[in-house]
Amino acid sequence: MPSLMPLPARQRRQQGSLLIDGGLAVHARFGEDPRLTPAIRHLVDRIRREIGIALPWMPAESAEAADLVVATSDASSDPGFEDESHTLSIGTERVLLRSASVLGALRGLATLTQLAEPAGSGIRVPLGEIDDGPRFIWRGLVIDSVRRWLPPEVIVRNLEAVAAVKLNVLHWHLTDDQGFRVESLRYPLLHGLGSGGSFYSQDEVREIVGFATDLGIRVVPEFDMPGHATSWFVGYPELASAPGPFQLADSYGGQTATMDPSRSEVYAFIGGFLEDMTSLFPDPFVHIGGDEVDPTDWRRSRSVGAFMRSEGIGDFRALQAYFNRRLHDILSGLDRHLVGWDPVLHESLPPHSVVETARSQQWLVESAQRGHRVIAGSEYYLTGMHSAGYHYRRDPFDVDEGALTADERDAVLGGEASMWTEVAGPDNIDSRIWPRTAAIAERLWSPQHVCDVDDMYDRLLDVSRRLDQLGLTHLSGPWKIREQLVAPEHHDDLHALSELLQPVPSSERRTSRNYTTSTVLNRLVDATAPDSWGVRRFERLVTHLQADPADPSIRSELTATLSGWKALGDRLQPVLATDDTLAEAEPLAAALSAAAEMGLAALESDDIPGAGAADEAQVGASSVVVTRRLGHVVLGPSTQTVAANPVSS
């Protein structure tokens, strides 16, 4: 059977399949909603790209004459939270898709696309029924277009993937210390001086938002205030708490520039800007950032100090809370809801505000207990370079039992995966987001009891292939970077080594090297994926051998794998040592050879420790950890994680 991700809430498969050959006749019963026709077009286009079948479609006059019947009970195009539940019934004559809203129909079409397999000049879909709907109503992806400029086509292709795995929110980070990335007609110096020349025109924003809407994806913009705001002040220094002039930051962190909360003119400016933005972003939510506000400039400002004394504001946290209340009132006047990272949480934050966790699950509990709606974000930071399995094991409700009442649990809207771009750009950002985010999408869509990591990985491999067919560059982007690093005769070896490594978190990379907005991302660490399919296969072989130590085929395959790793390390060491860009990876090749030797010795040894025993050995400067259990070597996550550290040095 074709694999599905996210897994549905309920599915009943039957023997046999429905063959749709020559064309797709569609009969739709729904009201006037502009999203369904583009959705049908997108369905057949995705089938063409994912499985290579060009399937023309045409409207059918009746359900009896149709291959696909779409029946929607509510044609509302409300940009808020529509009902995404749907039922997909696949019989021997046709597919019947019933949904409570057009958005539910879009999700059902995404499932149908995953079910379709090539069959001659048409497609084959397995018989059965799927009754589905999401566990959480907010399932998002944060894309940071500021620290590294991402051309519109990067956003568009990632929206394709977002829709494919049934996420429903693009949280678009558009302003920060390094740039102001959206055109403002009312205040043209924001993008004119604050973007460095790289920004999205209003026409481009409308096209992207329109494309997202057709896919059933809401676009929530983030305009950071009152900190992370240097780009505002390059053109309008009067907004700042300290005198200018200001220039865009080309590095990350350490910026003290903040908006002046004491001046009414600042709020008038913000109100005008946000009014301008509501014509571009129809979603009822606007993210204001609100994190990492450095009070240095507030502390130095006499006018800010005088304002705090006159208003009875006792500390800078309360000052930011005052600023946030003013923003809340501005957004309410524009029929918008405020969303902010968890540092905005304060006893005076208006109750309709939404809090997104950035630091830990503790803030999810505290926010919900204070009556706020909450988005879980802290467990899904993709820049940590954790594996798909790591994120898959983390749930928005990973809190102490009894910490939340039923009403407080209902206040948890869902979660978001976050992709920040300090060390990611157009050439490799897809590989940092995908396919891992599909696992997070399943965590937020499927029932909580769906948590088998091995099964998830089996399906994730198929998802990765389909995303590649859709036009994502998570496979081809890193491949191209690696092939630029060595001569053609060494391409295969470098690809193989990269497959056994895991990049360190971006935070660790930035402590070992001064990364700026112009740093070229062309090192091995930039072309190494967070997940290793080869290592996962090795781990499974070890597990099988532990279950049956006498199995000669498994032992033989492990021996071949370890021998191959040793030979790979031996071949690459002299190649890497002679190249300045790759010299940092030479210890990894040496460590791989040494670890493989240990593994081969362990396979040949009759000295088997007791169950649960483990020996750790340090191999060279790269500190590869080799763990022996029951006489067998486990090189999985330890080899990936620890051995990759020198790549970042």
Mean pLDDT of 114-130: 92
Least confident of 221-225, 509-513, 576-580: 509-513
339, 375 Cβ separation under 8 angstroms: yes
For residue 268 the two structure tokens come to 């008038």
- For 270-296, the pLDDT digits (tens) are 999 999 999 999 999 999 999 999 999
Query: Cis (ω within 30 of 0) for the bond into 6?
Result: yes
What is the pLDDT, as a whole number, of residue 121? 83
Q: pTM here?
A: 0.93
Cα four-point dihedral sign 269, 271, 274, 276: negative
Query: Which CATH architecture is the domain 10-132 placed in?
Result: 2-Layer Sandwich (3.30)
CA–CA gap between residue 287 and residue 289 (Å, rounded): 6
State yes or no: pLDDT of 617 exceeds 70.
no
Calculate the average pLDDT of the chain: 89
Q: Where are the domains of the chain?
A: 10-132, 138-457, 476-648
- For 544-590, the pLDDT digits (tens) are 888 888 889 999 999 999 999 999 999 999 999 998 889 989 999 99
Half-sphere exposure of 74 (CA within 13 A, CB side): 13
Mean pLDDT of 294-299: 97
CA–CA gap between residue 323 and residue 319 (Å, rounded): 6
Residues of the chain above pLDDT 70, percent: 91
263, 222 Cβ separation under 8 angstroms: no
What is the pLDDT, as a whole number, of residue 81? 82
CA–CA gap between residue 440 and residue 375 (Å, rounded): 14
Q: Which residues pair with 57 in a beta bridge?
A: 24
As a whole number of Å, the CA-based R_g of the chain is: 27
- For 29-43, the pLDDT digits (tens) are 765 567 778 888 888
Cα→Cα distances 99→5, 70, 423, 474, Å: 19, 8, 41, 33
From the list 275, 292, 604, 616, the catalytic residue is: 292
Mean pLDDT of 520-533: 93
For residue 198 the two structure tokens come to 């790289």
Cα→Cα distances 289→19, 142, 175, Å: 50, 12, 9
Looking at residue 616, its amino acid is E
For residue 537 the two structure tokens come to 């296969």
Residue 91 backbone phi and psi in degrees, to 5: -110, -175
State yes or no: pLDDT of 539 exceeds 70.
yes
Q: What is the third-level CATH fold of 138-457?
A: TIM Barrel (3.20.20)
What is the pLDDT, as a whole number, of residue 80? 64
Mean pLDDT of 79-93: 89
Half-sphere exposure of 203 (CA within 13 A, CB side): 0
- For 92-105, the pLDDT digits (tens) are 999 999 998 889 99
What is the pLDDT, as a whole number, of residue 502? 87
State yes or no: pLDDT of 484 exceeds 70.
yes
* Helix/strand/coil percentages in the chain, nearest 5: 45, 15, 40
Q: Which residues contact 537 (CB under 8 A, 6 or more apart)?
A: none
292 tagged catalytic: yes
The total of other beta-carbon atoms located within 10 Å of residue 495's CB is: 15
